[in-house]
Structure 1
Amino acid sequence: MLFDWNRWGRLALTVGFAVLGGWCALYVHVPLPWVLGPMVAVACVGMANQVHKQPVLARKSAQIYIGASIGLYFTPAVLQLIGGLAPWMVLGAFVGIFMSVMSARVLQKLANVDGPTAIYSVALGASSEMSVQAQRAGADGAVVASAHAVRIMMVTSTASYIAWASGATPIMPTPGIGVLSWPVTLGLLLTASFTGWCLQKLKTPNPWVLGALLIAAICANHDITGRLPDLGLIVAQIVIGWGLGQHINRAFFTRAPRTLASVAVVTLGILAVCMVAAWFISKGADVAVMTAFLSMAPGGMTEMGILSKAFGLGAPIVTAFHLTRILTTIFLTKPVSEKMMSTGWVKP
């Protein structure tokens, strides 16, 4: 068949529900509406087994746009501020490792899973990289991927409401910053895309976000100031919400339900610890407590970057904290997991 009506129909249905979900969430004043609204709407489509899986190009494009949007904040003054926070970023990364170590033991006891699956299900690194490492370590890759989906969805939703309850007001457009011209915007995004492709070839974690962030930061340090068009950021958020919501379907709840329920419990525990750690970091580093909370939150770098940008809560600081934690986790998870199992902290 030259035209697959079922496929294109599901795509139209999924995209339509995602956009409608965003509008409805905006109308009822849900925090971070263009992420949470599409996430819930697409999840509803998924429960009817009619969801269209998100094209890889859509996810990459959204990550490029979000990375570039955040990167434009990395002016010389901001980079100097972040440099002064470097010790706190390293501390935050090791707090994340500590939370993963403690959580793995709890998850194994609650869910009765093997050691590698427990460890990689709660490792606070890039979810895609953790899934790859999990399979190499002999863990259940499907369970690990689902566990990370649960964690990121829970943290994104919870952190959005915490930010809203704290009194932070979503800011769009950013006050005092004009929109970049279309030629500059196009040149920035094309260069960012090429850089992301190069970083992907080098097997860099989160290459599309980091590549765009790097190029935009270079621009911000060479007197190219402004923001990307707001409509593009809304579309990027819808795509991220679609990506989160597509994991929810009937099979999702029948795939190791005890493990996923246990992951939800453990995630709430990690969030509670993050709130305490954020308070101490905010006092020691002299940053806003909500900025510190989003910096420590066990969500994805892309999602927390969107959230911090939308609420005006120091997106560059939050992104830098998450990047430090991701790199630390990627390099240390394997040796730490081996040590955990050899000492009996987690059973193999």
Structure 2
Amino acid sequence: MRNHALPVVYVAIIAFLGGWFFSLLSLPIPWMIGPLFAVLLAQFFIRTPLKWSAQFRNIGLVIIGITIGENFSLSILQTMGTMFWYMLAINIVFVLLCLLLALITAKYTSMSLHTAVLASVPGALGQIIVFASEEKKADLAAVTYFHLIRVLAVVSVVPFLVSGHVVQQNIEATASPLWAVAVLISMSFLFAIVVGKLHVPTPFFLGPVLFGILLNIVQVDIPVISLDVLHVAQIAVGAHIGLLLTPSALRLPKRTLLFGLINVVLLMFVSFLCAKLVMTMLNYTFATSFLSTAPGGMDQMALIATAIHADADIVTVFQLARMLFLSFIIIPLLKKYSARLEH
């Protein structure tokens, strides 16, 4: 039993040291990016297999989600009608760009068009990889690499791009007693499980966000989560992402590795242009606009928004719209495309 726990303990120690080191350097979101890079690099030097429980990551997402939900402004829901066309336009632009990238990638690499489409489409990491794993004709390693390198790029590069555009706030509300916070997190975790039964995407993040909004609607006095607890949550998520990209995942043709990087750069550039458009049309800050349009997961973008004091509820709404667009339009179309290939 002790031997089974050691790989998890190693990851916890490495992740904490990475967060502590990045914090000393005053880098953006040190307690997520630090663990991410520390765990990622450790895999190349430590022969002992490293492990991290998915439940730790889920608890981290729950804490981050409830923090966003309890601060969610209900007025945002009233303005979603105004933002709808902008969100739809951004999603269409991204999909068209990704289809173009897929065609180019398939032409200049050994990847099939089917694999290239799955690798290039913007969306939640988990959803696309799970879908790709069910496709017999898809190269799962290539699809995983493209999406993981995108996640790593987004969570490491985006904070540096947007941190200078936000006035950091050092005022922290008085944290509630630990027992009250524990009750809140437990209730949020149970709510996330219920939401997951309804097949809602990223339930351990979106569920607590919805739970926090519901508590606000009924005007319940929600316990305040301390920064230390938030840092633990960020460590849990950062360590999980760091373990996703393993050394074996990089054993791909050089052209595939290169096009994965090109894919990320082009998507980030388009995100930058879309962010400028959102800034102009909706008068949001650059940080909020860029995090809203960046091709990262909803949970990661909302986490970054919370850490740098951007408008996390706006970011969540934009990223939620993309996730719903992916779940109800893109994946069904991909399934039809896959079925046609099999005949």
Equivalents in 2 of 1:94, 1:73: separation in Å? 30
Check 1:154–1:287 CA distance in 2 against 1; reply closer, same or farther (3 A cut). Answer: same
The aligned residue for residue 136 of structure 1 is: 134
Check 1:336–1:170 CA distance in 2 against 1; reply closer, same or farther (3 A cut). Answer: farther
Check 1:320–1:90 CA distance in 2 against 1; reply closer, same or farther (3 A cut). Answer: same
Q: Does the aligned pair in 2 maintain the 1:143–1:256 contact within 8 Å?
A: no
Q: Deviations over 1:221-255 (max 9, x none)?
A: 33335632221110111111111211344312214
Check 1:98–1:188 CA distance in 2 against 1; reply closer, same or farther (3 A cut). Answer: farther
- TM-score after normalising by structure 1: 0.88
Equivalents in 1 of 2:48, 2:255: separation in Å? 25
The aligned residue for residue 233 of structure 2 is: 236
The aligned residue for residue 154 of structure 1 is: 153
Work out whether 1:122 is the aligned partner of 2:130: no
Structure-to-structure mapping, 1:179-218, within 5 angstroms: 179-182=175-178, 184-218=180-214
**Residue 184 of structure 1: CA displacement?**
4.3
**Residue 63 of structure 1: CA displacement?**
1.0
Check 1:228–1:176 CA distance in 2 against 1; reply closer, same or farther (3 A cut). Answer: closer
Q: Does the aligned pair in 1 maintain the 2:29–2:304 contact within 8 Å?
A: yes
The aligned residue for residue 32 of structure 2 is: 35
Query: Pairwise CA RMSD of aligned residues?
Result: 2.6
Kindly provide the amino acid, as one letter, of the partner of residue 209 in structure 2. L
Work out whether 1:317 is the aligned partner of 2:314: yes
Kindly provide the amino acid, as one letter, of the partner of residue 206 in structure 1. T
- TM-score after normalising by structure 2: 0.90
Q: Does the aligned pair in 1 maintain the 2:148–2:245 contact within 8 Å?
A: no
Equivalents in 1 of 2:210, 2:286: separation in Å? 26
Identity of aligned residues (%): 24
Equivalents in 2 of 1:132, 1:54: separation in Å? 19
Equivalents in 2 of 1:51, 1:83: separation in Å? 49
Any unmatched runs of 5+ in structure 2?
Answer: none
SS at match of 2:244: coil
The aligned residue for residue 113 of structure 1 is: 111
Work out whether 1:306 is the aligned partner of 2:312: no
Structure-to-structure mapping, 1:48-59, within 5 angstroms: 48=45, 49-59=47-57
Check 1:301–1:256 CA distance in 2 against 1; reply closer, same or farther (3 A cut). Answer: farther
**Residue 335 of structure 1: CA displacement?**
5.2
Q: Deviations over 1:141-195 (max 9, x none)?
A: 232222211110011111011012x3425546xx464434445433332222122
Instruction: Tell me which of 59, 77, 80 is aligned to 1:79.
Output: 77
The aligned residue for residue 102 of structure 2 is: 104
